[in-house]
Structure 1
């Protein structure tokens, strides 16, 4: 049987030849397959419901996450907005305060000029005080009540617009007349009802009703040996060299050496006179810029413990200037410009430290000085230490030798982590107060009204004048006191438990206050009650200080010669 297989009819397409302008067949097929695959994928994705559900679930999850994060995002935006508002408010307040400060300064300056004009018209003006000294024609005394009315333009502009020539009519500052101290004459037998020196008050017949207006640098004659004279006598070394008040305390060799160092290194009356003349001249120049400014001589130059090589520390008191750092730098900047116009001042330098100061050198008097603004605490402790210095004749020689001893061993530099001169003075006074028979008492305890923190700063120099005389029963020599000082801080004083205080005349226990906590040495400042020895913050420095005390006490106790702890000849020659 013959079966016929049906033939399959295929459409045969003729082969194209690869002409130069046509594409290759393989590339055409590849493009066709790719387009078909894309088309099928689109159709498949549109028709598959599972893909749509998956996309819907992803969108719902994202929306749910955003819903959960929405409160956090809102809180962050709120905090950022609040910070931005606060920053804008602070900037606005700062701009307003700056404008207000400028207006207040201008108002105070104009009021000072007006007040100054009224004072000059009514009374004789004392340039050293900033207010009238002696009334004229028996008229009632003008009182400076500190009027401070506000205005809106600087005093310089007002003077230019009014065409006034105020400062050309100001009286010249009278030169300071330095009167030498009269020689010491032993006092005669006591007269009057009360002969006891403890209850007899010191009087001065030459003191007038207006004699309290100048910064005190001289005083009545020295009282009897061992008594307290709490005025401000002249710092002349001849007083201590030939005065019989120190003769009973300098009979042995060690005491004589201490006295020799004091006489050679102590500040002379001529040194203090030059510093006072420099202060007077600078005050005259500054009062042309700030009419009510007053310049005080402070520090070791006036407290009685200065040496012949010590600089002059000047403090300018301005009533309308705050104690802020920026304000002090601003005022010192104005004075810096003024000083650079003066031909007799050299080496002018403005130091913007924690307490800004202006350093310069007066070529006329040869005095180098540091000027600060409104450091009233420095003025108060200057006159407190000056009262201690002249309360008893043995105080100044002992402190002078202790300072030279500390400088010789390199433990008298607060900038290098050791003791400052002020701290050393307080340590010596504390020792003299804590003896069985004290050499000096606590003046702040016995006469608080004379050293009150609230006392007007212009009356501080005259506070000690109202203190009566007091007799010390201690008869130790200068050498015995120096040995006792070294022994006290070597064996008796507890550095880790006690605070040195001349205000209470004893070593007070430490408290948990940050001022005393974790400090190696604690010495209380008499007025601010802060730690003056805070510069000693390294244990190595503290150990070096204690070692110097211990070694010096043992060497001096064995030899009884000051050369064993201090080269007397080099010190007296170098000064």
Structure 2
């Protein structure tokens, strides 16, 4: 029962629980539009747009994942800038509007953070929201994580599994001095970079510059420049026939991930992790990291030299190291069933109930992410490419013009189901994604997981590969009236 085969089956069961359902996607679209309606009532924020980022945009969120929101201030076609004091004032105005209009509870204002945020929970589904002002760099980082999954779909599966494992061991909460989810994603990227053979390249080969520093001037131009560079490089990497393919299973990759960071406490005393360069680097010789004032250094590859693990203290670094060591030892020695190592009691209960019912995991309503249709195309999460369609066959881009659809992902079947009446005050104003996305026609049929093949068509893997299909021309949709589906409410929601 505790063989590697058992671990593979266990990971598959976990992923089917963690993957968001259609209802989970719909509720988040509804929350985005509810927040847009609230923002429009604040006089000083008239014309501002509510734009998601984080795990929702990178398609790395679970059924009960938080929703990160950026309120982008109007500044014509140019990227807007606002000082910390101004952001704090605006968030206080949003706080008052939230309390006045209702629809949200648990409202808390975190003004002392490096990026001031407003926390709240939606009454519909109890979805936690972190609201910030002008977080365009966060949006672009989320897109880049989404694009990285195009190189190898195992990345997304690893992120979901590792985040659940980290929560089970109490090391995925920056408020208590442990990892934030972005740091965990970067650790996985680093692991994929340093596998033999490597699965991912140094991120400098995808975007060689400092992405956050390149976001200035006309927004549409700045974003397109970044997208185009990433598109060219990702397509080059994917089409490189000389690249040696790593055929490790997800189970093997997870165990080797644990093994790689068993000594993280020891190495962190002298070295930092650089996903940008794809290697450990000596802190004393890396001048942009000086002075060294952190227990652990994980460089943000898109906003250098920012340390994504700055919340981790020395005591918690020891706790983190212990989690890696104990988990690796238990899984390697078959000391216990993998579920007791990998998941929280709540998730264990869900899996146990499903298996006890005699139907396995097959009756869980899983969002059709990345499942191929019979023509071989994929449909999946919208991720960073939420689109607002007009009444014709074009979509509007952010700089006021319009263009025909090209390479942008359209909504999945789940999102197409939730069309709305015209209501410009509740529109998700997201610019369509260009660049490194594939273009394909959607289909309603899907194949089983066993029929899925990898991006390089060389080995089989879990279907959640992050690809999604092109929306047929003329299809209109918005999330204004996303359906409420109580049957798909997450059991972890209070």
1:547 to 313, 322, 325: 322
**1:273 correspondence with 2:48:** no
**1:477 correspondence with 2:249:** yes
2:195 to 431, 435, 442: 435
**1:406 correspondence with 2:166:** yes
The corresponding residue for 2:121 is 361
Structure 1 residues 568 and 295, CA gap change in structure 2 (3 angstroms): closer
The corresponding residue for 1:468 is 235
The corresponding residue for 1:526 is 301
The corresponding residue for 2:110 is 351
The corresponding residue for 2:276 is 503
CA distance in 1, matches of 2:135, 2:344: 36
CA distance in 1, matches of 2:126, 2:342: 29
The corresponding residue for 2:143 is 383
**1:559 correspondence with 2:307:** no
Q: CA deviation at 1:300?
A: 1.9
Q: CA deviation at 1:478?
A: 0.8
Larger radius of gyration: 1
Structure 1 residues 454 and 319, CA gap change in structure 2 (3 angstroms): farther
Q: CA deviation at 1:513?
A: 5.4
The corresponding residue for 1:261 is 14
| Deviation per residue, 1:49-85 (Å, 9 max, x gap) | xxxxxxxxxxxxxxxxxxxxxxxxxxxxxxxxxxxxx
CA distance in 1, matches of 2:263, 2:102: 55
Q: Is the 8 A contact 2:203 2:301 kept in 1?
A: no
CA distance in 1, matches of 2:106, 2:263: 46
1:304 to 59, 71, 80: 59
Q: Is the 8 A contact 1:383 1:460 kept in 2?
A: no
Q: CA deviation at 1:512?
A: 5.4
Q: Is the 8 A contact 1:499 1:522 kept in 2?
A: yes
Q: Where in structure 2 are there 5+ consecutive unaligned residues?
A: 351-490
Structure 1 residues 564 and 349, CA gap change in structure 2 (3 angstroms): closer
* Aligned ranges 1:45-194 → 2 under 5 Å: none
Q: Is the 8 A contact 1:276 1:297 kept in 2?
A: no
CA distance in 1, matches of 2:212, 2:175: 30
Q: CA deviation at 1:502?
A: 1.7
| Deviation per residue, 1:267-306 (Å, 9 max, x gap) | 3343223212321343244246334322211122222221
Q: Is the 8 A contact 1:520 1:537 kept in 2?
A: yes
CA distance in 2, matches of 1:434, 1:357: 35
**1:537 correspondence with 2:290:** no
The corresponding residue for 2:367 is none
The corresponding residue for 1:316 is 71
Q: Where in structure 1 are there 5+ consecutive unaligned residues?
A: 1-249
Per the alignment, in what secondary structure is the counterpart of residue 369 of structure 1?
Answer: strand
The corresponding residue for 1:330 is 89
The corresponding residue for 2:391 is none
Q: Is the 8 A contact 1:515 1:531 kept in 2?
A: no
CA distance in 2, matches of 1:444, 1:272: 32
Structure 1 residues 268 and 509, CA gap change in structure 2 (3 angstroms): farther
CA distance in 2, matches of 1:568, 1:373: 33
* Aligned ranges 1:447-462 → 2 under 5 Å: 447-448=207-208, 453-455=213-215, 457=219, 460=223
Q: Is the 8 A contact 1:317 1:373 kept in 2?
A: yes
CA distance in 1, matches of 2:269, 2:210: 33
CA distance in 2, matches of 1:330, 1:254: 50
The corresponding residue for 2:185 is 425
Q: Report the TM-score when normalising by structure 1.
A: 0.51
Q: CA deviation at 1:571?
A: 2.2
Structure 1 residues 446 and 300, CA gap change in structure 2 (3 angstroms): closer
1:490 to 246, 256, 262: 262
Q: How many aligned positions are there?
A: 325
CA distance in 1, matches of 2:187, 2:129: 26
CA distance in 1, matches of 2:128, 2:106: 9
Q: Which stretch of the first structure deviates more once superposed, 511-520 or 525-534?
A: 511-520
Q: Is the 8 A contact 1:439 1:474 kept in 2?
A: yes
Per the alignment, in what secondary structure is the counterpart of residue 475 of structure 1?
Answer: coil
Per the alignment, in what secondary structure is the counterpart of residue 565 of structure 1?
Answer: helix
Q: Is the 8 A contact 1:430 1:505 kept in 2?
A: yes
| Deviation per residue, 1:306-359 (Å, 9 max, x gap) | 111122110111155643221111112222333334243444443323232223
Structure 1 residues 563 and 279, CA gap change in structure 2 (3 angstroms): closer
Q: Is the 8 A contact 2:121 2:127 kept in 1?
A: yes
RMSD: 3.1
1:372 to 127, 132, 147: 132
Q: Is the 8 A contact 1:315 1:375 kept in 2?
A: yes
